[in-house]
């Protein structure tokens, strides 16, 4: 009994120490001083915001103002609500600096220094250049302030302890695989940048483990049944795509129109991806994504 | 003799059971599934034309448009009476809790079908598939408005489908057939996203 008590005590003490360590563990880095001097291009930023799913995930489809947040995501760990990204100083990001914006987008850390829940797919944006961040920032500055309140996440213990996310980040946060490959065409490399980065296909199409970490080494693009809300995403490795009757042409066309090779039209999460995101991409970019997906390394 | 009869009855009911499981649905649920399947088949048949993979055929486009018209609008909504959700139907409960929007998507589809049959002679905007639209900024919808908020086109695009209401019938009817077809398919997708359960 005494031993059990001691054991429990030891666990509690080490848990407490661990918690303190996690809380003070610094994350994130300061963006380069160049960033503030860059002039962003609103059109390029809006285009990148489309491609990256900002508009899809931060616009409530039930009549919410664009980018005012409020989309509910049910995860196995609790519920998160996409926050307001308009220029409202209270509820939105109107008080932010471009540096804070850069750290949030590329590193997933709030201006208060807290890690975001990975429902925000920041890890796919880690390779955005300063110029791309400046473009996004310029585009977001054009949004009128909307007062829709940002809603706090409702996570179960221990997932409501944000400090724990640092551990999660150390284990499961991966750099995007956006690096160009020599010998491949420009369009293939552009497709790689879009698929592996901005458009973050792997967020849904890569299998996740019990803690919600992506199994990038063993099950990249192998499909997932752990989508928010309990949805499923099919495998999209090249072999599976070929088996399902896709080719580059039909894939690019589907990202524009939602039409699959069987004549069906996408529904659920993929329907939203097309409607709020990929349909607005240029023909070249859709072709590039398809080229890469049908010829994955 | 009696045994044979029993066996026959058993066999018959097993067969019926299997048939039921295969088709799954009966009555109005089956009817609406058949309507959807007919449109799916029509989409598949006309897609190569719209993608510019085969020669343009206005008659084929008109017969596609007719199929859409036949299975959309009220013809579609009347097959969704209240209380017909649940297995084997693939309709989400939102069809009924959010009826107005569901109905407006169905009506929208009918309008687009009608318009496409009038616009079938307009041909395609882009002959042959493959990169043609210039720079990365080339495609209209989003960029037309300059900002993320911008004009109605960006708003409509963001909401998936509502932009059709902002165009009058003549404007729609002057659009190239493939652009109308894209609007049709996106309407299908918008409706599936909101109102169709994920298939297994």
Cα distance from A269 to chain B (closest Cα, Å)? 7
Tell if the CB–CB gap between A280 and B189 is shorter than 8 Å: no
The distance of A139 to chain B (nearest Cα, Å) reads: 7
Is the minimum CB–CB distance between B129 and chain A shorter than 8 Å?
Answer: yes
Residue B104: pLDDT over 90: yes
- Burial code (b: 16+ CB inside 10 Å, e: under 16) for A105-132 equals bbbbbbeeeebbbbbbbbbbbbbbebbb
Question: Which residues of chain B make contact with A263, given a CB cutoff of 8 A?
Answer: 40-45, 47
Q: How confident is the model at residue B139 (pLDDT cuts 50, 70, 90)?
A: very low
Across A45-61, average pLDDT: 94
The domain limits of chain B are 3-195
Half-sphere exposure of A9 (CA within 13 A, CB side): 6
Which among A44, A257, A269 has the least Cβ separation from residue B186?
Answer: A257
Establish if B125 touches chain A: CB-CB under 8 angstroms: no
B87 vs B77: CA distance, rounded Å: 19
ipTM of the complex: 0.85
Across residues B172-200, what is the average pLDDT?
Answer: 92
Are residues B149 and A66, on separate chains, in Cβ contact within 8 Å?
Answer: yes
Q: Is pTM, for the whole model, over 0.80? A: yes
For residue B192, list chain A residues with Cβ-Cβ distance below 8 A.
258, 265-268, 271
Q: Looking at beta carbons, which pairs linking A24-33 to residues 24 or more positions away fall under 8 Å?
A: A25/A163, A25/A166, A27/A107, A27/A109, A27/A113, A27/A115, A27/A166, A27/A169, A28/A103, A28/A107, A28/A109, A28/A113, A29/A103, A29/A107, A30/A99, A30/A103, A31/A99, A31/A102, A31/A103, A31/A106, A31/A130, A31/A133, A32/A130
Of the pLDDT bands very low, low, confident and very high (cuts 50, 70, 90), residue A29 is low
Q: How confident is the model at residue A6 (pLDDT cuts 50, 70, 90)?
A: low
- Shortest distance, CA B13 to any CA of chain A (angstroms): 33
The residue that leads in pLDDT, A106 or A13, is: A106
Query: For residues A56 and A47, what is the distance between their CA atoms, to the nearest angstrom?
Result: 13
* Cβ contact A47–B130 (<8 Å): no
Chain A interface mutation, best of B148, B156, B200, highest count of A Cβ atoms under 10 Å: B148
The pLDDT of residue B126:
65
pLDDT at A27 exceeding the cut of 50: yes
- CATH fold, domain B3-195, is 1.20.120
In total, the C-beta contacts within 8 angstroms joining chain A to chain B are 133
CB A28 within 8 A of CB A113: yes
Under an 8 A CB cutoff, do A266 and B130 touch?
no
The pLDDT tens digits of the residues spanning A187-239 come to 999 999 999 999 999 999 999 888 888 888 888 998 998 888 778 999 999 99
User: Which range, of A282-286, B7-11, B52-56, B70-74, averages the lowest pLDDT?
Assistant: B7-11
By the CB < 8 Å criterion, does B162 face chain A?
no
Contact A49 B129 (CB under 8 A): no
- Whether a cis peptide bond, with omega within 30° of 0, leads into B88 is yes
Residue recorded with tokens 């706090």:
A152
A122 CA to centre of own chain:
5
Residue with tokens 């994504």: A289
Q: Determine the 3-state secondary structure of B41 from DSSP.
A: helix
Q: Which residue has the higher pLDDT, B129 or A1?
A: A1
Instruction: Assess B92–A contact: CB distance below 8 Å, yes or no.
Output: no
> What is the rounded average pLDDT for all residues in chain A?
91
B5's enclosing H/E stretch is helix B2-23
- pLDDT of A4 reads 61
Per-residue pLDDT, averaged over B91-114, amounts to: 96
Closest-CA residue to A125 (of A198, A55, A76, A66): A198
B9: left (phi over 0), alpha (psi -120 to 50) or beta: alpha
What pLDDT, on the 0 to 100 scale, is given for residue B25?
A: 84
pLDDT tens digit sequence for B148-178: 444 333 333 333 334 444 577 788 899 999 9
Q: To the nearest whole percent, how much of chain B has pLDDT over 70? A: 68
């Amino acid at each position: 009994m005494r031993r059990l008590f001691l054991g429990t005590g030891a666990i509690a003490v080490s848990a407490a120490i661990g918690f303190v360590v996690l809380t003070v563990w610094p994350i994130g880095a300061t963006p380069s001083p160049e960033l503030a001097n860059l002039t962003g291009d609103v059109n390029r930023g809006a285009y990148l915001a489309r491609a990256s799913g900002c508009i899809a995930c931060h616009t409530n489809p039930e009549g919410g103002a664009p980018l005012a947040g409020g989309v509910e995501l049910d995860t196995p760990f609790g519920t998160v609500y996409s926050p307001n990204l308009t220029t409202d100083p209270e509820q939105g990001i109107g008080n932010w600096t471009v540096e804070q914006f850069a750290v949030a987008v590329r590193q997933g850390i709030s201006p208060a220094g807290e890690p975001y829940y990975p429902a925000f797919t920041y890890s796919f944006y880690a390779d955005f250049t300063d110029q791309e961040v400046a473009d996004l920032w310029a585009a977001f500055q054009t949004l009128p302030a909307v007062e829709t309140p940002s809603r706090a996440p409702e996570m179960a213990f221990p997932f409501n302890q944000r400090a724990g996310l640092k551990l999660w980040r150390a284990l499961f946060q991966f750099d995007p695989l956006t690096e160009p490959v020599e010998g491949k065409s420009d369009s293939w490399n552009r497709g790689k940048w879009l698929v592996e980065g901005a458009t973050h296909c792997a967020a849904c199409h890569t299998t996740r483990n019990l803690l919600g970490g992506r199994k990038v080494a063993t099950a990249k693009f192998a499909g997932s049944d752990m989508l928010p809300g309990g949805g499923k995403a099919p495998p999209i490795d090249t072999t599976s795509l070929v088996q399902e009757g896709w080719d580059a042409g039909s894939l690019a066309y589907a990202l524009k129109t939602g039409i699959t090779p069987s004549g069906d039209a996408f529904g659920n999460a993929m329907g939203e991806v097309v409607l709020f995101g990929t349909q607005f991409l240029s023909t070249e970019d859709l072709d590039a994504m398809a080229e890469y997906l049908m010829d994955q390394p | 003799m009696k045994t044979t009869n029993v066996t026959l009855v058993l066999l018959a009911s097993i067969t019926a059971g299997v048939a039921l499981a295969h088709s799954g649905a009966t009555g109005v649920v089956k009817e609406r599934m058949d309507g959807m399947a007919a449109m799916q088949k029509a989409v598949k048949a006309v897609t190569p034309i719209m993608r510019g993979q085969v020669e343009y055929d206005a008659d084929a486009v008109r017969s596609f448009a007719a199929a859409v018209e036949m299975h959309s609008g009220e013809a579609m909504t009347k097959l969704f009476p209240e209380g017909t959700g649940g297995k084997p139907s693939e309709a989400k409960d939102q069809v009924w809790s959010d009826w107005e929007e569901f109905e407006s998507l169905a009506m929208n589809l009918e309008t687009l079908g009608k318009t496409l049959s009038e616009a079938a002679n307009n041909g395609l905007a882009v002959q042959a598939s493959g990169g043609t639209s210039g720079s990365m900024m080339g495609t209209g919808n989003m960029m037309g408005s300059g900002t993320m908020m911008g004009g109605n086109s960006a708003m409509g695009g963001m909401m998936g489908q509502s932009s059709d209401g902002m165009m009058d019938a003549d404007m729609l009817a002057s659009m190239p057939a493939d652009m109308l077809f894209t609007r049709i398919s996106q309407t299908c997708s918008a409706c599936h996203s909101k109102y169709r359960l994920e298939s297994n």
